[in-house]
Amino acid sequence: MVVPALFRRSCGGAIARLIAYMSNDLLIHLTGLAALGLNVVALACTCERSLRLRSGAAGIVWALNNLLLGAHAAAALSVVSAGRTATSAATLNGARRLRRVAFLAFMALTLIIGVLTWNGVPALVMTSASLLSTYAVFHMTGKVLRWVMMLVSVMWMLNAWIYGSWEQMAANVLSAGACVLGVRRVGRPSRD
């Protein structure tokens, strides 16, 4: 009866590993889909504050998704993105000096993270996208903001492709489409 006990232990271990793998894989997909939904809804908003708050929430979920994927630079930049967009929403109608200080702080933080998580061209592109995004959310509104965010989506597609995340690829394509929709809707009466 040694063989059946050994068989049970090896199969039990393999099944446990399979379940753990499937659970992690499922969590990756669920966080990707949740962030995707938040991103698209945010970028289709005509209200500047809603766009920023919803983008901030999406950034937190993207950070978790990137962490689960093992994309540590993208995870760190996503956390910065979430903080940046929330801060830009809070300072949207604030004093110009406060916005400038917040902008400079997030630029510095983005550069530090870019340097600390350097892995070549991917880090360069993601850091550049994050810097562009930082400038956009603190200094732009309306159609121009949404066009720049579309460019940022295109730049983040590199990360999605490298890590094979179909949710991030879909998010970048849909986010670009949502930006175009947002551009068309800006200037119309808000329903947000």
Where exactly are the structural domains of the chain?
13-185
Q: Which residue has the higher pLDDT, 118 or 131?
A: 131
**CA pair distance 190, 84, nearest whole angstrom:** 24
Work out the pLDDT band at 146, boundaries 50, 70, 90.
confident
CA within 13 Å, CB half, 26? 6
- Residue that the structure tokens 């490298």 belong to: 162
User: Between the CA of residue 78 and those of 29, 55, 82, 149, 162, what are the distances in Å?
Assistant: 17, 10, 6, 14, 16
Q: What is the pLDDT of residue 122?
A: 84
CA within 13 Å, CB half, 57? 14
**CA pair distance 165, 162, nearest whole angstrom:** 8
Q: What is the pLDDT of residue 56?
A: 87
Smallest Cα–Cα separation from 81: which of 47, 45, 42, 46? 42
End-to-end CA distance of the chain: 68
Q: What is the pLDDT of residue 86?
A: 87
Q: Which residue has the higher pLDDT, 54 or 106?
A: 106
pLDDT digits (tens, 9 = 90+) for 10-58: 555 665 565 566 678 888 889 988 998 888 788 777 788 888 888 889 9
Compute the C-alpha angle 31/35/37, nearest 5°: 120
* pTM for the predicted model, two decimal places: 0.73
Please, are residues 190 and 51 in contact by the beta-carbon 8 Å criterion?
A: no
Please, are residues 113 and 137 in contact by the beta-carbon 8 Å criterion?
A: no
Contacts of 121 (CB under 8 A, 6+ apart): 158
Q: What is the pLDDT of residue 141?
A: 86
- The three-class DSSP label of residue 127 is helix
Mean pLDDT of the chain: 83
Work out the pLDDT band at 64, boundaries 50, 70, 90.
very high
Q: What is the pLDDT of residue 12?
A: 56
